[in-house]
Structure 1
Amino acid sequence: MQKTTLISIILLVLFCSCKQQNQEIMEPKKTIVRKHPKSISFHFEKSKEWLAKNIDSTQIRIALAVNRTDKTNIPKMDSIIVPKDLTGDIEFYLSFPLEVPYLKDINKIIFFSYPTQTFAAYENGDLIYTGPTNMGRKKDPTPTGLFFTNWKAEKTTSTFNDEWDLRWNFNIANKLGVGWHQYELPGYPASHSCLRLQEKDAKYLYTWADQWILKDDENILVKGTPVIVFGKYDFDAPKPWLQLVQNPKALNISADEIAKTTKPHLNSILAEQKKREKQPIKG
């Protein structure tokens, strides 16, 4: 009788375990609802004239992103590039692909593209957030390669000028003092090697990305969210996004390019991710 009961318990445990595994396997992937524009094409407009007749905040946000600028600097531009159809979500007018299957095992990762001056955040291969950036100027280029988010602060003071307030600052290279933060976007690489963002974008990434976990004052226990900065910017050529008027796909970054950029760093990224997953959840 005891032997029969023991066998029954083992079979029940195995059944429940298999059922749970099957449920996990069968759990559908979360669907991201996106608003597609009817078409994607770009043309030039006089900046002040266009702003005077467009007050829709969503459309203005798209125009700012396309011109890699902000509300303060766009009126200073003589002409700007504007999509003909502004009814879609912002990701359809920028450079990064909506999905990258190669990233499916990476919980969180951020990319900054130097040549397109755009950034993108992915969760398991799905694009969840994107926007414009102004990276390091020719004299002070932003370093490229793999980084991890370190410490963050809602407000810090620039080491270059103590009159510059940097909001939503998230460091990615502690010894170099490089990170992303909110600061003016004149519409071209102008920073002292940091990654300038609009305030809304800087705040989003500030909240979304993970900080490092320190073992003590000198040692890192777990690194933060992986950040890959890639590509080169031609400082002697016209702004790359001007090409969009002739070819709306001129700056498109393919999923294969992201995979190729990520591949040399994949093992390091997954190793750090595994370390984080092993950390106890703080209540």
Structure 2
Amino acid sequence: MTGAGVTVGFLGTGIMGLPMARRIAGAGYRVVAWNRTHDKATPLAAAGVEVAGRAHDAVRDADVVICMLSSAPACDDILLGDEGVLAEMRASSVLIVMSSIPVDTAQRQATAAAARAVGYLDAPVSGGQKGAQDGTLAIMVGGDESMFERSRAVLQTMGRPTRIGPAGTGQLAKLVNQMMVASTLTAVAEAMLLAERGGADPAQVRAALLGGFADSTILRQHAARMIAQDFQPGGPAKYQVKDTRTAIGFAQSVGLELPVLGLVDDLFSDMVENGDGELDHSAVIRELRRRNGLPVS
């Protein structure tokens, strides 16, 4: 499904969803967007996106419906609730859930979609707000291969899609991603704090590490944010906690103990409880400061 003549319904135009919907429209698709807070969707009108007043209106004529809501309960409520939009979707259309949700939730949604002859893909993303703006998201896809191939062109407007396997495996890949992101963020925050406390300039330490084995996207982007104390959310910490807790629950369900993940989850949980849940997840360095009795500006 490519460009002109294809309608995409887009549900959820927050930090990530808005630039994603804009990129789809920019590729020539007709996009009808909806957001629970209507004003958050209205900026898309300048990009040629039609803004719907009701979620049902966004999906009714769609060939593809993309769900980019904040949580599994929010997705279930809009898709499968008493007035869920799945019932409005046309047979043979495709539902793509790009929110980060539990593996079993994706599998359950896939079953509900199949009962209505609607294709289903779970396709969570990584790359943050910048990746959404630039169309460089890593897109991890679970679902039927034929549905993936039908939807590949739409997904490619937003980044690099990779099919992992059957429904739910896209979410599993995202859990793995989030484990690595959260753990690396914590390690980089500890490193920057140690450098500062030991008398080195953290900015110079970061510069020295670039290109070495410790180099990473997180060192390049998020260490810079930690040093500048720029915590405007690209990925709010409250969503990081959601993902680490989901990963712990899934690990337990398959009989695994993941001790590093448990420690990282505790740190982010305390961060949210201490009022930093709306800040970028790189603000985890603030929680490390609290634990060490250091000033948090």
Question: Higher helix fraction: Structure 1 or Structure 2?
Answer: 2
* Greater share of strand: 1
Higher relative CO (CA 8 A, sep ≥ 6), structure 1 or 2?
A: 1
Q: Normalised by the size of structure 2, how large is the TM-score?
A: 0.25
Q: Which has the larger radius of gyration?
A: 1
